[in-house]
Amino acid sequence: MDFISNHILTLMTFLPLAGAAVILLMPRGRDESVKRIAAVASFLPVPLAVQLWFTYDRTVAGVNVASQFQFVEHYSWIPSINVEYFLGADGISMPMIILTAIISFLAVIGSWNIEKQIKGYMALLLLLETGMMGVFCALDFFLFYVFWEVMLLPMYFLIGIWGGPRREYAAIKFFLYTLLGSILMLIVMLALYFNTVNPETGGHTFNMLHYMQQSTHNGWLQGFDIRVLLFLGLFIGFAIKVPLFPFHTWLPDAHVEAPTAISVILAGILLKMGTYGLMRISFPMFPDVTKWFVIPMAVLGAINIVYGALCAMAQSDLKKLVAYSSVSHMGFCLLGMAALTPAGMVGAAFQMFSHGMITSMLFFLVGVVYDRAHHRDIDGFGGLGAVVPVYTFFITVAFFASLGLPGFSGFIAEAMVFIGSFGVFRTIVIIAASGIIIVAAFHLWALQRVFLGPLNPKYAQLEEINPREIFCLSPLALMTLILGVYPMPVLNLMSSSLNHLVDVVKMVV
């Protein structure tokens, strides 16, 4: 047991990879066993996440204080350039680690009906989980970057091989966009490396926590103009991932073409990496530039909210609608973060967690109807409510959660973002709040067109949602509901870290 608790983050990160290795060694034609192994390998991090949940000390902050990180594993990896294997968790990463464990497992279960080359699919999916988990655990910038990039490879193939009709275009577009962002991040990382010193050894370092101590910055990290450039380099890298307007154009393509479970992961976890990167890296490393850049960030956030919602309203493809609603919802994260108030920051982080669950539900649900009807045209259905009541129940829950109805977690998150940011930039928030109405409008309108009204006779025999699909949806629906009524379990997890993060940024002159 000691081994497990001492290496819990490593295990969570690399158990899926081990599963992928086992799958690759399996002989051909054992599809059922491949699926089972994948399910086990992706399930194992879930109990570990539960253990994290129970043992995590919620009173300490982390962020830039090395001694307050928990479940730390710190080893030398490449001594000649001081690359370290450095994992740890704090209140910023904890919700994301837990979310990743849950969504990845559900994505494997949700992929049960994949038939084409299941071996390769499951192996890539597990590799993807390793990459995602690693990003949220890594505290060494080099390690972070490696995990960040490792995700690209499986994603490219998962979209490109198992995707929809325009999958090749979507896959390469996603790959090129994110690689461009990554290269910018690489250049910033190397610039940081050469212009900081490890206070303990006097050498250069990739340790993120050292980067957050402004006293370690020397050379041209002392010039504000250069700092702005570096911040912007990182910001573009993360903005592509979020995705922020105007870097969002890869998202609708990737989401629409990706197979259901991959859309779930893409929207549920991958998008959060952009905002996570801002919280984990950009804000604490460049607090001065962050303060200088809050207005543009808030404006971009508001544009995302309104523009994403308007685009969603114009869609006739249900999956594209959900994809654009993600663009809109991620805008809330940015708006909340830019406010630099505790409520705004916590609201943004809670939105990341809550949207991760809600949007996963939505993509699962779209996948369910697509599997049966083989199209996703909103106007091509009608009156499905009478045919598939259980399905209608779930999608109604998901839609209401997504549009921010009180009682669901999305409402709490958005309310906190508005409360936190209203006092800071009033006009922007008022404009952003108008997005809420559009969000509600397109959700309700879509719901009405698909499930209410006269029944389209073509779908009178539509098959009801099956137990496996219900198994994927129920935990998410339940958590959304519980957290909508009583959000404290998650808020407690992250509030001390996020309050500290706000202080770190605010205290800089």
Partner 1 sequence: MSLGNFDSLRYFLPELTITATILLLVMVHVAGKNRRSPAAALLSLVGTGTAIFFALLTPAGGGMGLFEGMVVLDGFAAFFKVLTALATAIVIFMSIDCVELSDKTQAEYYVFLLCVLLGMFLLSSATDIVMVYLALELVSIPSYLLAGYLKGKVSSTEASMKYVVYGATASGVMIYGFSLLYGMTGSTQISAIGNALTMGTLPLPAMLAAVMVTVGFGYKIAAVPFHMWSPDVYEGAPTPVTAFLSVGPKAAGFAVLVRFFYTVFASPDATGGMWKLTSSVDWTFLFAVLSAVTMTVGNLVAIKQRNVKRLLAYSSIAHAGYMLMGFVLLSAAGLKAILFYLVVYLFMNLGAFYVVVLVANGSRDEDISHFSGLGTRAPLAAVSLAIFLFALTGIPPFSGFIGKVYLFAEVIHREVYWLVLVAGINSVISLYYYARILKVMFLEDPVHTGELSVAFVPRVMLTILVVPTLLLGVYWEPVIRIAESSVRILIH
**Minimum CB distance to partner 1, residue 338 (Å):** 28
Amino acid identity at 24 = L
Residues 6+ apart with CB under 8 A from 79: none
**Minimum CB distance to partner 1, residue 138 (Å):** 12
Q: Residue 143 or residue 300: which is nearer to partner 1 going by CB?
A: 143
Q: Residue 193 or residue 393: which is nearer to partner 1 going by CB?
A: 193
**Minimum CB distance to partner 1, residue 439 (Å):** 34
User: How far is residue 221's CA from residue 85's CA, in Å, rounded to a whole number?
Assistant: 25
**Minimum CB distance to partner 1, residue 18 (Å):** 15
Q: Residue 186 or residue 242: which is nearer to partner 1 going by CB?
A: 186
Q: List, in sequence order, every beta strand (DSSP E) within 14-106.
A: 70-78, 83-89
User: How far is residue 76's CA from residue 5's CA, in Å, rounded to a whole number?
Assistant: 20
Q: Residue 46 or residue 161: which is nearer to partner 1 going by CB?
A: 161
Residues contributing to the site for partner 1 (CB under 8 A) = 77-81, 117, 145-146, 149-150, 152-153, 156-157, 160-161, 167-168, 171-172, 175-176, 179-180, 183-184, 186-187, 190-191, 193-194, 220
Q: Residue 44 or residue 240: which is nearer to partner 1 going by CB?
A: 240
Q: Residue 64 or residue 205: which is nearer to partner 1 going by CB?
A: 205
How many helices and strands, by DSSP H and E, does the chain display?
25, 2
**Minimum CB distance to partner 1, residue 80 (Å):** 6
**Minimum CB distance to partner 1, residue 163 (Å):** 9
Q: List, in sequence order, every beta strand (DSSP E) within 149-217.
A: none
Angle at 399 between CA 93 and CA 301, to 5 degrees: 50
**Minimum CB distance to partner 1, residue 153 (Å):** 7
- Cis peptide leading into 16, omega within 30 of 0? no
Q: Residue 163 or residue 344: which is nearer to partner 1 going by CB?
A: 163
Q: Residue 176 or residue 460: which is nearer to partner 1 going by CB?
A: 176
- Cis peptide leading into 246, omega within 30 of 0? yes
In degrees and rounded to multiples of 5, residue 28 shows phi and psi of -65, 155
In degrees and rounded to multiples of 5, residue 213 shows phi and psi of -85, 115
**Minimum CB distance to partner 1, residue 363 (Å):** 22
User: Would you say the C-alpha torsion 337, 364, 133, 186 has a positive or negative sign?
Assistant: negative
Cβ atoms within 10 Å of 401's Cβ, excluding its own: 28
Q: Residue 134 or residue 382: which is nearer to partner 1 going by CB?
A: 134
**Minimum CB distance to partner 1, residue 263 (Å):** 18
**Minimum CB distance to partner 1, residue 177 (Å):** 9
**Minimum CB distance to partner 1, residue 187 (Å):** 6
CA 342 from chain center: how many Å? Answer: 21
Measured between its terminal Cα atoms, the distance across the chain in Å is 47
Q: Residue 120 or residue 383: which is nearer to partner 1 going by CB?
A: 120
Q: List, in sequence order, every beta strand (DSSP E) within 28-187.
A: 70-78, 83-89
Q: Residue 149 or residue 288: which is nearer to partner 1 going by CB?
A: 149
User: How far is residue 161's CA from residue 156's CA, in Å, rounded to a whole number?
Assistant: 8
Q: Residue 130 or residue 263: which is nearer to partner 1 going by CB?
A: 130
**Minimum CB distance to partner 1, residue 125 (Å):** 16
For 256, the token pair is 């629409």
In degrees and rounded to multiples of 5, residue 117 shows phi and psi of 40, 55
Q: What is the DSSP string of 379-436?
A: GG---HHHH-HHHHHHHHHHHHHHHT-TTSHHHHHHHHHHHHHHTT-HHHHHHHHHHH
Helices 342-373, 488-507: inter-axial angle, 10-degree rounding = 130
* Region of residue 287 (phi > 0: left; psi between -120 and 50: alpha; otherwise: beta): alpha
What does the buried/exposed string (b/e) look like for 358-387 if buried means 16 or more CB atoms within 10 Å of the residue's CB?
bbbbbbbbbbbbbeebeebebeebbbbbeb
